[in-house]
Structure 1
Amino acid sequence: MTAQPVKKTAPAKKAEATGEPNSIDYKGHCFYIHSERKLPLDVLEAIEDDRGELAIIRSIVGPTQWKVFKSTEPSIEDFEEFSTLVTEAAGFGDSGN
């Protein structure tokens, strides 16, 4: 079975074309997410090392924004919602949750 290409959202395509990050709003906070090609190398390492979705999302948003997310006292369900927003903004499509 061949892998299906990920359909990128319009904002993700625009971010990739312009080099500017997307912004997402989550619980009253604005998060800036770069397109997949502008993400830190830590994201690729987390994927390659199969460290799991938590490590991947934490790498995508970076340490400062991760602290902001954690300040919302998220539940696992909240993380699933946040991870979907983040991966879609980065151009990865649905996170699978």
Structure 2
Amino acid sequence: MTAATKPDSAEKTAAKEAEASLTPVTVEHGGIEFTIPHPLRMPVKLLRAQDELEAVMLILGEEQWAAFEDSGATIGDFQDLADKVAAARGHDDAGN
């Protein structure tokens, strides 16, 4: 497995700006752009998510999750994407 990429300062700045305006943030992974909604715009089902996989699937939604799976993604790719989703909301990583 490869080491997860840490968010850079530009990603953190974009996350802070989006946080203030309730706008979604776009992250790129594996040549695919993913739109991450503002936390107040995320599905309420996320509050009951039991694990990181379920949480990321709910945040991305069915269409974006299917694109990720169809890209030939690996478990290592999932970890990197989970960290990018967390960074999009201003966190250093997904915490796993």
The answer to whether the superposition gives a TM-score over 0.5 is yes
List alignment gaps of at least 5 residues for structure 2: 1-11
2:33 is aligned with 1:30:
yes
Instruction: List structure 1 segments (4+ residues) > 4 angstroms apart after TM superposition.
Output: none
Aligned twin of 1:5: none
Counterpart Cα distance in 1 of 2:44 and 2:80? 24
Deviation at 1:93, TM superposition (A): 3.6
Aligned to 1:94: 93
**Aligned-pair distance for 1:34?**
1.4
- Report the Cα distance in structure 2 between the residues aligned to 1:37 and 1:52, rounded to whole angstroms: 20
Q: How far did residue 91 of structure 1 move?
A: 3.3
Q: Distance in 2 between matches of 1:14 and 1:81?
A: 22
Q: How far apart, in 2, do the equivalents of 1:16 and 1:59 lie? A: 19
Aligned sequence identity (%): 33
Q: How many residues align?
A: 86
Mind listing any 5+ residue stretches in structure 1 that lack a counterpart?
A: 1-8
Give the TM-score, by structure 2 length.
0.79
TM-score by length of 1: 0.78
- 1:40 equivalenced with 2:43 (yes/no): yes
Cα shift readout 1:25-45 (whole Å, capped 9, x = no counterpart):
111111100122221112112
* Cα deviation, residue 92, structure 1: 4.0
